[in-house]
Amino acid sequence: MSAKLLEVDKDNFEQEVLNAEGVVMVDWWGPKCEKCLELMPYVEELAEKYQGKMKFCSCNTQGNRRLAISQKVLGLPAMLFYKNGEKVDELSGQDITPEDIEEKIKKYVE
């Protein structure tokens, strides 16, 4: 993963996402999810564009399956938004577009 997104896993998820102040977006992906890989460069672009305004994380569900299910993620790709540790919004499914993601981000950076 890129440096623009902080990689989270079962060990640091609580600290980096649930205990974080402000808004955090977590991009749940998997190496076999073509759609996730397709979206990844766009997510990185968005993370760069909105850098400093909110926190961007990514989580590889391979190896973090239980963590994903605990966050009610059972399908990829999924973009979850947390505010002060509470899940407030999400996008999921094969038809997510980069525009959809940016729209959600805009909703939370203002």
Closest distance to other proteins from the beta carbon of 58 (Å): 16
Q: In this structure, is the dihedral angle defined by the CA atoms of residues 99, 104, 108 and 110, taken in order, positive or negative?
A: positive
- Among residues 36, 46, 67, 73, the one annotated as catalytic is 36
Burial of 25 (0-12, 13-18, 19+ CB in 10 A): buried
Reply yes or no on whether 59 is catalytic. Answer: no
Reply yes or no on whether 36 is catalytic. Answer: yes
Using CB under 8 A as the criterion, which residues of the chain lie in contact with other proteins when the complex forms?
30, 32-39, 61-62, 65, 68-69, 72-76, 78, 92-94, 97
CB-nearer residue toward other proteins: 57 or 73: 73
Helix runs in 1-110, H state only: 13, 34-49, 65-70, 98-109
CB-nearer residue toward other proteins: 4 or 100: 100
Catalytic residues: 33, 36
